[in-house]
Structure 1
Amino acid sequence: MKKIFLPLLIVIAALGSTIFLAYSMRMQSLSFAWALNFLLMFWVSIFTETQTKELTSPYYTAKAWEREGKLYGYLGINLFRKMLVIIGWEKLNKKSNPIEKNVKALEHNLLRTKKSELGHLIIFLIVLVVSVVVAVNRGLRDAMWLIIFNVLFNLYPVLLQRYNRPRIERALQLIRRNEQGKRYRHGA
């Protein structure tokens, strides 16, 4: 019962607060686009953190064309990463989740990339729907802030997680291979 009740409660609260936001602000405004994204980030982060699943869907497996990251490079992911460093997000993120070179820490980081990607993907889809509704009812120009913030706050973070995950997986494989080699050499 708890597995259904808590997520349902979160969805209802998110929906209610989003509807309240839509009625209390002009949907074409910069402030609405900003507030909507952060409100959804709040609710989706609560939702993803309450989920105990390991997120083993094949969706999370990097495709062959993703492993090298060239497409993400062409799409400007390195510029986005630099922007995160400049605004201080990377420092804040590393402070709360330090990178360690051990299996447990890398497995935790791998799960975090999946949860982050899931959260930003959910938000991206919701804001995309709101953007389409605003564009259809008021024109594309009035949906511009929603579109811009959706790309910056959600699409690029999804791409970043897709870019980072194969690197974390390779590091994890190397550490596991080194640990197996040490056990083999020491006769364990």
Structure 2
Amino acid sequence: MRIIFLSDIGTAILDVFAWVCFHLGIGYWCSRLPISNFDPQESKYQTKSWEKDGEIYEKIFHVRAWKKLIPSGARVYAGAFEIKNLPSYNFDYVERWLKESCRAEYCHWVMMLPGLLFFFWNSVEVAWWMVAYAVANNLVPIIMQRYNRPRVRRLLAQIEKKSHRRMEPVIKLDKQEAFAHSYQ
């Protein structure tokens, strides 16, 4: 399938240049997609039963041990939402984090696709190494998103539950007042 023939050094330079362009280009493109495109309720972003609320990733890959070492791509793109940490427990912020987690997962799935293009200018063996690189380099952040998302969903449910508890007495008071005023 190879159609472009370069020297070994030329091919290596093209490989590095291509990966940099693919990563930065796809990352930029994904960061500019409307957040409304990423619905955490879509089945592809839902935790599957075999994932055991994300704990399968801890059991197999020990995510907690290394996830803090993975750099955030959001630093590269101006205005991109940072999902490395959760600095606020505000409901709207956590809900946005959940959507951004879906965006990050989508972006890393898309970043694997260009691996197949390396067959055009590499030997078959090297091209398969490029595909392996694409999978390994992007599977790590995907695993992190799949691990974190159920935990953030639980946090969001707790925040929502607490906010309803705080509002409940106010609502009861308002109903009592309305009832009392209706008979005066």
1:107 aligns to what?
95
Check the 8 A contact 1:113/1:165 in 2, yes or no.
Answer: yes
Tell me what 1:13 maps to.
none
* 1:77 alignment partner in structure 2: 63
Structure 1 residue 176: Cα displacement: 0.9
Instruction: Quote how far apart the aligned CAs of 1:102 are.
Output: 1.6
TM-score, structure 2 normalization: 0.66
Q: Distance in 2 between matches of 1:83 and 1:95?
A: 14
Task: Report sequence identity in percent.
Answer: 19
TM-score (norm 1): 0.65
Note if contact 1:30-1:145 (Cα within 8 Å) is conserved in structure 2: no
Q: Distance in 2 between matches of 1:90 and 1:130?
A: 23
> Is 1:61 matched up with 2:49?
no
Q: Which amino acid aligns with 1:158?
A: I
Q: Unmatched 5+ residue regions in structure 1?
A: 1-24
What is the Cα deviation at residue 168 of structure 1?
0.9
Q: Which of the residues 137, 150, 153 maps onto 1:169?
A: 153
Q: How many aligned residue pairs are there?
A: 155
Q: Post-superposition shift, 1:54?
A: 4.5
How big is the shift at 1:101?
A: 0.7
User: Alpha-carbon deviation of 1:31?
Assistant: 4.0
Larger radius of gyration: 2
Query: In 2, Cα distance between the equivalents of 1:109 and 1:50?
Result: 14
For residue 88 of structure 2, give the secondary structure of its aligned residue in structure 1.
coil
**Equivalent residue number for residue 32 of structure 1:** 18
Q: Assess, with a 3 A threshold, how the Cα gap between structure 1 residues 134 and 52 changes in structure 2: closer, same or farther.
A: same
